[in-house]
Structure 1
Amino acid sequence: MEKVKPKKHLGQHFLKDLGIAEKIAKAVTGHQGVNKVLEIGPGMGVLTDFLLVENWDLYLVDIDKESIAYLQQKYPHLGDRIIDGDYLKEDFRPVMGGKYAVAGNFPYNISTQIFFKVLQEKDQVTEVVCMLQKEVAERIASPKGNKDYGILSVLLQAYYDIEYLFTVPPGVFNPPPKVNSGVIRLRRNQVEKLDCDEKLFFRTVKQGFSTRRKTLRNALKSMGLSEEFKADPILDKRAEQLGVEDFIYLTHKIKSSWNQ
């Protein structure tokens, strides 16, 4: 089979280090007893080989038609589990038919969008093990109070326990990216629904970080805070100083401001 050429416009950097691929595959734990795994962007199947060794009930999705043709030749036994499609645009809940894990070497240019999609399907996505740009991986796993902590940190940590596993240098890819990569693991926590208006929670988090250097009193000004709430000391803090529970508290307070 002729090798697939990495395409710059798809952000493809194919992993060529088998040891790292094996390490990523072994990091998938089958959290909550789930056996189904969806690999996003398998390319030529370097990670896929090791996921198959681990005996997962495996599905592959890739937007690159050349990769799809290659994978169909390499893994004929997977049949229609090799999906020619865009993970960001398609609803994978009926395809996977229940709870599933996500794995992959995510393209840098869409990794953040992949995580927002995971949040949409959080009731089914029990685990994510992935490699992405180190800076983004650190941001997602970062605790409050850290300069890397941001919108995605709060939203994902509301529903997932997150671990930064290890760093991967550029030289193990073809072509090598200009930055290091990081591997992280997210496992679904016990929170089925936040104890607040979830849509307003998302909006509050995004608005809170919209002007990181300002206090929340200034950052949230456009959200119509009551005079009583404006005196709350939590508004003297900046968004990066608040954990998930603090943002839930803020969400309640903003909603009560509107009801006064």
Structure 2
Amino acid sequence: MRYINLNFLNQQLEHLKADFQAQQPFRYLVVECFLNAEAAEELLQAYPKTTDGVWDNTTYIDQSNKFQKRVFAEGDIFKDVFQELNSAHFLEWLQELTGIEQPLIADDSLFGGGLHQSTNGAFLNVHVDYNVHPVTKYHRRLNVLVYLNKDWEEKYGGHLELWDLTQKEPRLMHKISPAFNRCVIFETNEISFHGHPQKLHVPDRITRKSLATYYYTTSRPAIETAPEHNTIFVNTEGVTGQLKRFKSGIKAALERINRQIG
């Protein structure tokens, strides 16, 4: 494959599978060097600025300063890489890694996925994802996030947080820096709480860049099935989180008013 380092992934499959299966209460995996080195550099150089083309950057009470792009022209390098992420070869690898019994299905529309880019002050509160695709009605089973952030410093924040909320006391399971050519794969269900709730603190020239693809099945085990719902957010930051949501809610309302006036 041109982009995905599939030879490496196949060589490490048994080790990666063991890591993925061992995680509780929901399964996840962090993979370094996910993309071929040259391809990762090429994608970083081609990654568009938030001022280039059309991005969706709607503010919500639980999300701010996040830009999303999922439509690409023929021949665009990102159209090519997402086709590879949705290819039969990669789906086969994911199937083997996860042990999900139902055949995995890619979403060529990249609903909710594509390029995700966050600017200074951005956050995405901890949440579980919508569980059913709004168009196909397939069950959402797996997220694959690939980060393209060179020389990312701890002080910037923007870490992906994985949370266990199944016990009386919430527990931060893993805090993952969005480092260059790092991939995070995790199952999506009713307890797979994740997000990057702490605000980004980055210089103007730096953004948090990632690629996101989601995978589905036509059904899922009855024990995992829940009524269809949208994204469900939780506050993991106490009073700080409440204040942040209040400010973001005001910003979102002002944006809606400006759009209506404009």
TM-score of the aligned structures, taking structure 1 as reference length: 0.25
In terms of fraction of residues, the more strand-rich structure is 2
Q: TM-score, normalised by structure 2?
A: 0.25
